Chains A and B, each alone.
Chain A
Amino acid sequence: MRLYGVVAAGGFRRYTTYRVATAAGVFTNTVFGVIVAYTYIALWNERPHLGGYDQSQALTYVWISQAMLMTVSLFGGGFADEFVERIRTGDIAIDLYRPADLQLWWLSADLGRALFHFLGRGIVPLAFGALVFDLALPANPLTWLAFLVAVLFGVVVSFALRFLVALSAFWLLDGAGVTSLVSIAGMFFSGMLLPLTAFPGLLGEVARVLPWSSLLQIPADVLMGRHQGWGLLGAYGFQLGWATVLLGAGRLLQSAAVRRVVVQGG
């Protein structure tokens, strides 16, 4: 357990060296937040209470999504790029003879990364949004705590998805194509582009039960107090359910991949 703590701390520390890049990212998240916020204002002016949100809730959603973008790696990436590269170059062989579990190792590193991005790229855009726009942020610290838990579960589901996708590189060698396809699906079905509650009809119902809704929609709704009491437990259960299924699938695929590993190059 201590080992994975060290790996997570390493994952965190590694990103702290990219200070300028983090500031640049905060700037970009903020610019996008402003653009999207105005389009949502126009949309909610036409259709108040779309998706069950009032306008300030819709704006809150915008700024939470900018804050969460890097934390839950909605564009993919994070550990996955490196993992795929290691499979391609054959360095993965080194990971395989380490006395540590492959999946847990990368999960720990990714949790460290997520924590850094939450602090480094999450808080400032959200604070900017709260200063400039009229947001519906909760006053109750317990709601914030519940949100943090939902974010953590969201990161785990996101990791489990990216791990599964990255493993495909064992068969395809170049994983870039699959990775980009899945990250696009993730962007759409996470609710990054439009809250899933505002998706019409069947599309909305499908989108809300897919694993990606754990990444952004659920944490955002938890922060806005839309899941409380048993509802909150239900939301957590949904996230943990997907996490279990996806991590399990990753485990199966991992053992299949390891059995057929052919180290490239050398």
Chain B
Amino acid sequence: MGGFAAYRLVAAMWIRSTLAYRASFLMMLTGNFLVTAFDFVVIALMFSQVRSLGGYSFAEVAFLYGTSTTAFGFANAVMGSIDKLGARVRDGTLDTLLVRPAPVLAQVAADRFGMQRLGRLLQGVLVLAGSLVALDLHWTVLKVLLVPVMLLSGSAIFAAVFVAGAAFQFRAQDAAEVQNAFTYGGQTLLQYPPTVFAKDMVWSATFVLPLAFVNWLPALYVLGRPYPLDLPGWLALTPPLVAAGCLALSGLAWRAGIRSYRSTGS
């Protein structure tokens, strides 16, 4: 069975299962929507006290927030379950997935698939749409095209981070939370303008873990803002390449991880 087919099958099963407790599902969907909505409410509260943050207006920060949350929301909806891999290694249930004739990655990613995760994605899209209305920009064809490209490559970069984090859990099974620093932490970082952070943090987010390609670099081009590190402007157009590179690397890490896997036998 192919990866996509396996994913669809497992995800569909979990969707039916979450719908069994309908009241709880609705609350979880609302909850997922609200948890990110509160993130944005906090930014709105900040702007009720100030006119700019790191030199950026509310609409500009909302644009950063919308692009970061949409990209992350999509990656999280599709791949989010993968962060439970360490638990599966520990309790031995990974073995049942290994003997099935379908790619393990697809099975783990689709496991416990919850439609409530779409709440975050929806919230990101709404804020992004709002910011596009509020922003007063000089749009060019390139900028218009760059927005969907940024969202897709951004999702792919976050997905690669999820896979790499899972690969790491083959070795450090209990260290699942480290992943949150890069996934949820990365999303939080990208919600704010890079001018807010120390130079070496921006440098690391550009060259070490290239989260800056999720939205900072392309978004600053769209907003017509200079990037705080003196980098050539064409880098704003490279997110798809960076995403492809990240996916390739995380795929290799995943293979190395699964090859090193030894069942606990329990």
A contact residues vs B (CB 8 Å cutoff):
18-21, 23-25, 27-28, 31-32, 34-36, 38-39, 41-43, 46-47, 50, 172-178, 180-181, 184, 187-188, 193-194, 198-200, 203
Contacts and interface: CB of A to CB of B under 8 A. Distances in A.
A46 B198 CA distance: 17
Given A24-B172, A177-B21, 15 more contacts: A18-B174, A20-B174, A21-B174, A31-B181, A42-B196, A46-B51, A50-B49, A173-B21, A176-B28, A177-B25, A177-B27, A181-B27, A181-B30, A194-B46, A200-B49
B252 interface: no
Given A20-B174, A21-B175, A28-B185, A198 B28 contact: no
B35 interface: yes
Contact of A28 (B51, B178, B192, B196): B178
B4 interface: no
**Taking chain A's interface residues, is the majority helix, strand, or loop, or is none over half, making it mixed?**
helix
Nearest to A28: B181
A47 B176 contact: no
A173 B21 CA distance: 9
Contact of A24 (B175, B192, B195, B201): B175
Contacts of A28: 177-178, 180-181, 185
Nearest to B30: A181
Contacts of B238: none
Contacts of B174: 18-21, 24
Nearest to A200: B48
A47 B192 CA distance: 17
8 contacts: A18-B174, A21-B175, A24-B172, A27-B177, A28-B177, A34-B201, A46-B51, A177-B21
Interface of B: 21, 23-28, 30-32, 34-35, 38-39, 41-42, 45-46, 48-54, 172-178, 180-181, 185, 188-189, 192, 195-198, 201
Given A177-B23, A181-B30, A38 B196 contact: yes
**Taking chain B's interface residues, is the majority helix, strand, or loop, or is none over half, making it mixed?**
helix
B49 A47 contact: yes
A194 B35 CA distance: 14
Nearest to A180: B31
Contacts of B195: 42
B45 A181 contact: no
